[in-house]
Amino acid sequence: MTLAHRHLVCLLLAASALAGMPVIALARGAGASVIGPRPLWLLLDSAMQPTGVRDILSISADSVGYVDMTGASVARPLSMVSLIVPAGWWTRTTPRGVGVEPMGEPTMPSIRQPGGLLETIDGQRVPGNLEFAVPQPAADPSRRPTRPSTMSGGQQAGRPPGGGGQPGQPGIPAAPNSGDKPATEIVGEVEDSIRWQHPTLGTLSFKLEQVRRWSVDQQPWAPAAVPERDALLLANGDKLEGFVAGLIGNTQNSRVELAVKLEPVSGEPLLLPVQRLRTMLLSGAPALPPAQASRLILADGTDAQVGTMLPLVGGKLKTHLLASAAADSVVRIDAPLLVGFAPSARTLIDLAATLVSPSQPASPAKPTVTATRLPRTEPADLLSGSIDMPGWCTAVMTVPADAKRIGMKVVVPESCRIYAECTLTVSLAGKVLTTRVLTAKDPVFELNIPISGGGELRITLADGPAASGPVHDRVVLRRPIAFR
């Protein structure tokens, strides 16, 4: 069953609201009936215990309505739900492309991410492209205003609305290989915001202080590390560091590119046309999501924090996108795009994103291998990635101090199960939590442990009791997470 069939639901306007709050209602389409015992969605509680459901009917500020596996309509208080995820993603043992695909397991389609990617300091990820409006000259009021234009790869023109300080017109050199236009042509006000065009949500606006990374392509799915300085990576491979003062354009001349103003570590400020850039990486301090924010995952790779759910309009989910500084931050979302929902954006921590690989001492008896993050190939992988441990090694992750529970699925890939026999040890802050021997007859281990406090989480893979060596001793850590 494809994700399209799983999510073939449409949003309908709720007839009433619970406790005076708006309700988001979802109803099954004609082709979305469920046959057989397999659930479409899982509702996870604070202990990560899943409840399988056939359909999600409604989400309000107080409750989640759904069709259970017997066909009955049920309402559960939202306070008892920590996460809503596709059942197929949660139950799969092996990510796509790792060893032999297991027989009979659900499949999930790849992320459909168009254009570039913008990432915020609190971990949100929004696909799309830079958007720039080109106002008309004030001297010609008879002409109709030009509509905003969106061009791929950051090739934009004009300037965004808003105020800012005037840069020095002459004397600001353009970057090397910045094109034919001299720096003196790239004039206008320096803006401290990025206008971003999302293919579904429309035009959004993000303050530079909210942005961690902007990229013109689809590659960087791993969260960006915090750099010591702002960095600009050019299309020719060069890297410039310093302080990004803002974006600058021109209100009178649409032929002039949008540019980034960079104050380098040494030397005079530079203007770099965005068409020459591949990535902009900013050094703002990390931030937690707002306390009242919910988290929404969409099939196109959007991972956004949203606020109050509003009444439905035109069969679409309607809510506030909290990070956007645009005047109209209300977004409308088609139901088939919905992949995951967390009532509290702070609840779930993706431990795979915190992976570091400790150095492995060389030894003839123990090959030097390293735990690595696997590519995030499915939309729900934005909730948590997976880690490959290709032999005897240690994966080190960081659990926040306020975490209450950790969990993951430890799997010996089917391609390694014939001779596999290895010992897995899980320790937190120097204390061993559990040890498990994985073999061909027992290749899957669902880890779910309550904890008090965080620290360094170490997952160590070593030889089994028979001391048969490293042959086929390999595991995948599926969706390692911590719950607050």
Q: 51 — phi, psi (to 5°)?
A: -120, 120
Q: Write out the residue limits of the CATH 2.60.120.1060 domain(s) in the chain.
A: 349-483
Instruction: Reply yes or no on whether the pLDDT at 9 is more than 80.
Output: no
Calculate ∠ Cα 213-304-243, nearest 5°.
20
Rounded to an integer, what is the distance from CA 118 to the centroid of its chain?
10
CA atoms within 13 A on the CB side of 251: 15
Instruction: Reply yes or no on whether the pLDDT at 334 is more than 50.
Output: yes
What is the DSSP-derived secondary structure letter of residue 228? S
Average predicted confidence (pLDDT) for the chain: 75
pLDDT at 112: 66
pLDDT at 166: 34
Q: 308 — phi, psi (to 5°)?
A: -60, 135
Label the pairing between strands 230-234 and 277-281.
antiparallel
Instruction: Reply yes or no on whether the pLDDT at 133 is more than 60.
Output: no
> Residue 30 in 3-state DSSP?
coil
Q: Which of 5-34 are b and which e, b meaning 16 or more Cβ less than 10 Å from the residue's Cβ?
A: ebbbbebeebeeebeeebbbbbebeeebeb
pLDDT at 417: 87
Instruction: Reply yes or no on whether the pLDDT at 363 is more than 50.
Output: no
| Higher per-residue confidence, 147 vs 376 | 376
CATH 2.60.120.1060 fits 349-483, yes or no: yes
- Highest-confidence segment of 118-122, 343-347, 361-365, 432-436: 432-436
Give the pLDDT band (50/70/90) at residue 96.
low
Q: Please give the biggest Cα pair distance in the chain.
A: 86
Q: 451 — phi, psi (to 5°)?
A: -135, 165
Give the pLDDT band (50/70/90) at residue 447.
very high
pLDDT at 430: 93
pLDDT at 337: 77
Sheet strands (E) in 266-369? 270-273, 277-281, 294-298, 303-313, 316-321, 330-333, 338-342, 348-350
| Higher per-residue confidence, 408 vs 95 | 408
Per-residue model confidence as pLDDT tens digits over 158-177: 323 333 333 333 334 444 44
Structure pTM? 0.74
What is the DSSP-derived secondary structure letter of residue 87? H
Give the pLDDT band (50/70/90) at residue 477.
very high
Instruction: Reply yes or no on whether the pLDDT at 152 is more than 60.
Output: no
Q: Which of 201-224 are b and which e, b meaning 16 or more Cβ less than 10 Å from the residue's Cβ?
A: bbbbbbebebbbbbbbeeeebebb
Helices vs. strands in the chain: H and E counts, helices first: 2, 34
- Using alpha carbons, list the distances in angstroms from residue 174 to 108, 171, 182, 232, 438: 46, 9, 7, 14, 59
Q: What is the mean pLDDT of residues 107-132?
A: 79
